[in-house]
Amino acid sequence: MARYDRAITVFSPDGHLFQVEYALEAVRKGNAAVGVRGTDNVVLGVEKKSTAKLQDSRSVRKIVNLDNHIALACAGLKADARVLINRARVECQSHRLTVEDPVTVEYITRYIAGLQQKYTQSGGVRPFGLSTLIVGFDPYTGTPSLYQTDPSGTFSAWKANATGRNSNSIREFLEKNYKEVSGHETIKLAIRALLEVVESGGKNIEVAVMTKEEGLRQLEEAEIDAIVAEIEAEKAAAEAAKKAPPKET
């Protein structure tokens, strides 16, 4: 088995591409990232490891713009992310130049996934070690979208999804609790999902909201703390309500 994982271009006898699977492992070790699609907005949330005291936190933004109406968050190797993001940004502008139209979310996702796939079928290179969550609004229809790509180059659209560390538990939570909501409720749902695996607090979460009118807006630490407090209060109220009924029988 060890012989089949050295070069990317080699299939193993039972049909695996080991390099791609190892890339997925790298993703599983990365920071948790969650995306939730609402009816009028899309929210991205990323786990933030506590920044060192001397580090300028503004230079480690994990949720980035690809264009005015498209944003991306990823889990995995951050250096690979930089390269992929730059290529995607160039493609967004190139598309505007050749057809005088902004890209649709599906188009740029297809482009990024195509790029990731190229590196699973070439000699002497390794795959990109990251999965991305791409959100945005289509320029003419105005519908919000959320897509996910992974190192193998597949992509699909989601109502809500998570990637990175403990993504399975976050996804389970989302499957149980997802409802088509809008505005503030979408943000709360995304943060609640992230809090399943992250220690609470605005210091450890980075959240950004994409709306049709404003584009991407990063939430301030204070805002996040306020919402976390709201969530905690709701949880406490739910606990109390559970304890109450037995007293009345």
Partner 1 sequence: MKLDTSGLESFSTLTAPGDDVAGEFSAPPSFQLPNSNDFDGFVKEAIQMVKPAKGTTTLAFIFKHGVIVAADSRASMGGYISSQSVKKIIEINPYMLGTMAGGAADCQFWHRNLGIKCRLHELANKRRISVTGASKLLANILYSYRGMGLSVGTMIAGWDETGPGLYYVDSEGGRLKGNRFSVGSGSPYAYGVLDSGYRYDLSVEEAVELGRRAIYHATFRDGASGGVVSVYHVGPEGWKKWTGDDVGDLHYQYYPVVPSTVEQEMAEATGA
Task: Using CB under 8 A, list all residues that contact partner 1.
Answer: 86-87, 90-91, 94, 98-101, 104, 106-107, 110-111, 115, 118-119, 121-122, 125, 140
Shortest separation between residue 99's beta carbon and partner 1, angstroms: 3
Nearer Cβ to partner 1 (125/233): 125
Phi–psi pair at 197, nearest 5 degrees: -120, -5
Shortest separation between residue 95's beta carbon and partner 1, angstroms: 10
- DSSP SS3 for 245: helix
Nearer Cβ to partner 1 (127/164): 127
Nearer Cβ to partner 1 (110/159): 110
Residue (of 24, 39, 52) closest to 163 by Cα position: 24
Shortest separation between residue 12's beta carbon and partner 1, angstroms: 21
Q: Do residues 103 and 138 touch, judged by C-beta distance below 8 A?
A: no
Nearer Cβ to partner 1 (38/153): 153
Euclidean distance between CA atoms 230 and 95, whole angstroms = 42
Shortest separation between residue 90's beta carbon and partner 1, angstroms: 6
Phi–psi pair at 183, nearest 5 degrees: 55, -130
Nearer Cβ to partner 1 (134/227): 134
Shortest separation between residue 9's beta carbon and partner 1, angstroms: 12
Shortest separation between residue 125's beta carbon and partner 1, angstroms: 6
Sign of the alpha-carbon torsion through 219, 223, 228, 234: negative
Euclidean distance between CA atoms 194 and 70, whole angstroms = 22
3-class SS string, 119-150: CCCCCCCCCCCEEEEEEEECCCCCCEEEEEEC
Nearer Cβ to partner 1 (8/160): 8
Euclidean distance between CA atoms 230 and 35, whole angstroms = 20
3-class SS string, 53-64: CCCCHHHHCCEE
Shortest separation between residue 186's beta carbon and partner 1, angstroms: 26
Token pair recorded at residue 96: 């505007």
Nearer Cβ to partner 1 (47/91): 91
